[in-house]
Chains A and B, each alone.
Chain A
């Protein structure tokens, strides 16, 4: 069975600085998708970024980028120029190519200080 591990329960960053959130996963599959979701205090789940495992190029979305290391089964999220509005819980998620089920990590709470 696939698992997703986020080893950092909490992280903090100063406004305008860069922070990296870690995520590792375990799977025997070769084709899959990885996601980062953001959950602000309003509790809405918002898709931040998505990576297809067959693509070597790391996905980027404005200030958000990932470092996808397939061999190491690592999928970290880098937030550049952090803003106060980035404060939230961040969830890493895995989806098999053959199913549409999302398997979530336990989340990392990010605090942003002015």
Chain B
């Protein structure tokens, strides 16, 4: 079975540019999560969806960040405009609906904003 697929694996861009990170969850999974990992703050949940509907976006740092899930097999996390402090590894994870089934993580996108 294919796992969670994230693209790109690495992204380097200049400050002020728009960045779009992509995620394809495991087929049949109901939940999708976006996390950010930095040395200073560790792993933080940014937002999560249930059946394509955003449930909790309280972790989204500011209005420059937005996430969408137009269908069950695709989600995007967009940063516009990007800033150097957004540099981090961004993970997408998915899980089944049943109570607290383990989350399966993608390989992450390492984002560097110059």
Contacts and interface: CB of A to CB of B under 8 A. Distances in A.
B112 to A, nearest CB: 14
Contacts of A107: 42
Given A43-B110, A97-B100, A101-B45, 6 more contacts: A45-B93, A47-B103, A100-B48, A102-B33, A103-B45, A104-B43
Nearest to B58: A101
Interface residues of A, number: 23
Contact of B107 (A42, A101, A104, A106): A42
B76 to A, nearest CB: 20
Contacts of A52: 100
Interface residues of B, number: 21
Interface of A: 33, 35, 37, 42-47, 50, 52, 91, 95, 97, 99-107
Given A43-B89, A104-B43, A107-B42, A35 B102 contact: yes
Nearest to A37: B105
Nearest to A106: B42
30 contacts: A33-B100, A35-B102, A37-B105, A42-B107, A43-B89, A43-B108, A44-B105, A44-B107, A45-B91, A45-B105, A47-B102, A47-B103, A47-B104, A52-B100, A91-B43, A97-B100, A100-B48, A100-B95, A100-B100, A100-B103, A101-B33, A101-B45, A101-B56, A102-B33, A102-B43, A102-B103, A103-B45, A104-B43, A105-B42, A107-B42
